[in-house]
Structure 1
Amino acid sequence: MLSKQVMLTSAMTLACALGIGFYMQASSPRWAGEPEAAADPQLPAEPGPAELKIENIMLTSLPTDPAPAGADPQPAPAAQSDACSVTASAVAAPAAMVSLTVSAPCHGGERLTVHHSGMTFTASLDRTGHYAAQVPALTRTAVFIAETASGGGAVAVAEVADAETTERVVLQWSGHSGLEIHAREFGAAYGSAGHVWNGAAPGAGAGQVVRLGDAGLLAPRIAEIYSLPAGQPDRSGTVSLTAEAEVTGLNCGRDVSAQALQLSGGRLSSRDLVIAMPECDAQGSFLVLNNLVEDLKIASN
């Protein structure tokens, strides 16, 4: 026979189980499609959420004034980018040259980089953003790309009919390498008539050397170009070409990178070179490179 204590414990346990079951049934979630259980009329109804009343709604955007009758519509102001656009023009000139002009009104004083068929040089725009130069053409259809330091750019094209009948050699480098291109035409000696280089007097020979690029810029890109018409009146022979570099405090004991482009018979080729400069105790001497470019063979016409 059960004792009173066991019976009392069993009754309390049964009451708790029934209470928990009733609570779980009342609070369990209703799945979609199940009918909603009817409310127990003996239980007080729970208050629903308070109704939110929205009154006095006002639009905050300002109305636009209608245009007066008969008034002409006002044109939209020109965009700032149009006024600041970079433009370039290229016009063929005698001796297979091109008159290149760049206009960048909002880039005054900036660094300008010009690219043409592998040749690259850097210059400075003037205070008004203008640049002009005579640039030797390396192809018949000469394409020039001009870009400013801040990202603006333009493209110009010129048709140069006599580019294919001109012999050209380009020596280009970056920084202060001390490089120069020297041409000794038809057996000429150094310092005599027919020795053509950047420091020679105008008319020193049949050809000419043009230097492009601003050496005053930081890490400038410089290009020297020797040009000579392929046919010479009553003259034929060899033009000896050398690349020379003076040993200075800026290049001594360093490796100097250079590139040579050669236009011959309408065909353009290139060659890269790394020059190990002598130590600084050789300052003032010259390093002569005889095999950087091929000598020109000129026939009379």
Structure 2
Amino acid sequence: MERVRRLATAGVTVTLALGAGHYMEASAQRARDDLRPTHVIPVSAEIPAAETAQTAESPAPKLPQGSPTAGSDTEAACLTGLTLAAEPAAMLALTITAPCRADERVVLRHGGLAVTGRLSSAGHLSTHLPALDTQGRVAVLFADGSQAEAAQPIPEAAAVHRFGVQWLGAHGIEVHAFNGPVQHGGPGHVSAVDPGRTSGRGGFLSLLGEAEVPLPMLAEIYTFPIADPRATVQLEAEVRASTCGRALLAEVVESVGGRTSVTELTLDMPACDGVGGHIVLKNLPRDLNMAASR
């Protein structure tokens, strides 16, 4: 049964990004859920094309003075590693090994996408990213500003259509996809509640980013066959007490045939008497127009 939602009103501002724009870490340090954001400074999240090395390790931390043998052993134990592997459905399997970076917050960047992760107590992280381009270049940014880089070509990325949204903070914008003429909650409705599977028929949703870190950077990316005429995608934002009466800042990420574009999106949320309603953007990704609020 389709969920009942009461009407709310809001304004939408959409501007085309000149490059793969992302929230700068410096701007993120000033952002909090209890403040009304005023602007976003986009910076490129792409790895420069001139850098062709398959992997690059971050600099080792400074070591205490000691015997050369002990120092060499400690340095080797603290090396950071990043490995990538190709998986079905044009997915990238990513593994980080950083024994001296226990529980550290990291930022994973790929093809215009930027999401947070968190290393385990042993300095390990394994996760998946949807390949947004065929080069499969990934960078991992650590807390001290160093980064590790790797590349894994994914030719299959040219055969899928990916569409989604990324944002900074605990509450953002949801992706809802419909395979055919279906309603909310019905068969064929893909969302965070039922994201589908990479091995299943039709599309699936990737829920990306670690929310339980300071200044989380999160994303939802929907993947479907590039020639599928049945798939429709819409974005929704719930009007919450923490978001009413303020602007939600996000970026729409789209990849078609292995070519990625990023579009900045600002949602002016309704006043707080609209809490419980949802803002709905339909006719996506062809248009970024506000079609309805419910």
Task: Using structure 1 for the length normalisation, give the TM-score.
Answer: 0.67
* Structure 2 residue 183 is matched with structure 1 residue 189: yes
CA RMSD of superposed structures (Å): 2.1
Contact 2:81 2:148 in 1 (8 A): yes
Secondary structure in 1 aligned to 2:158? helix
CA–CA separation in structure 2 for the residues paired with 1:237 and 1:292 = 13
Secondary structure in 1 aligned to 2:165? strand
Which residue of 2 is the match for residue 119 of structure 1? Answer: 113
Rg bigger for which structure?
1
Once the two structures are superposed, what CA deviation does each residue of 1:159-195 show, in whole Å capped at 9, x if it has no partner? 1121100110121000123310011122222221111
Contact 2:132 2:259 in 1 (8 A): no
Unaligned runs of 5+ in 1: 1-73, 296-301
* Structure 2 residue 79 is matched with structure 1 residue 85: yes
Deviation at 1:292, TM superposition (A): 5.7
Deviation at 1:239, TM superposition (A): 1.7
**Structure 1 residue aligned with 2:223, among 210, 214, 227?**
227
Contact 1:121 1:221 in 2 (8 A): yes
* Structure 2 residue 200 is matched with structure 1 residue 208: no
Which residue of 2 is the match for residue 270 of structure 1? Answer: 262
Contact 2:107 2:114 in 1 (8 A): yes
Contact 2:172 2:248 in 1 (8 A): no
CA–CA separation in structure 2 for the residues paired with 1:291 and 1:129 = 43
Which residue of 1 is the match for residue 230 of structure 2? Answer: 238
Deviation at 1:250, TM superposition (A): 1.8
Which residue of 1 is the match for residue 282 of structure 2? Answer: 290
CA–CA separation in structure 2 for the residues paired with 1:205 and 1:224 = 19
Task: Using structure 2 for the length normalisation, give the TM-score.
Answer: 0.69
Deviation at 1:291, TM superposition (A): 5.2
Secondary structure in 2 aligned to 1:156? strand
Which residue of 1 is the match for residue 171 of structure 2? Answer: 177
Instruction: State the identity as a percent.
Output: 34
Secondary structure in 2 aligned to 1:177? coil
Secondary structure in 1 aligned to 2:156? helix
Deviation at 1:152, TM superposition (A): 3.6
| More relative contact order, 1 or 2 (CA 8 Å, 6+ apart) | 2
CA–CA separation in structure 2 for the residues paired with 1:86 and 1:291 = 44
Inter-CA distance 110–117: structure 2 relative to 1 (3 Å threshold): same
Between the two proteins, the alignment pairs up a number of residues equal to 218
Unaligned runs of 5+ in 2: 1-67, 288-294
Q: Once superposed, which parts of structure 1, at least 4 consecutive aligned residues long, lie more than 3 Å away?
A: 74-77, 79-82, 201-205
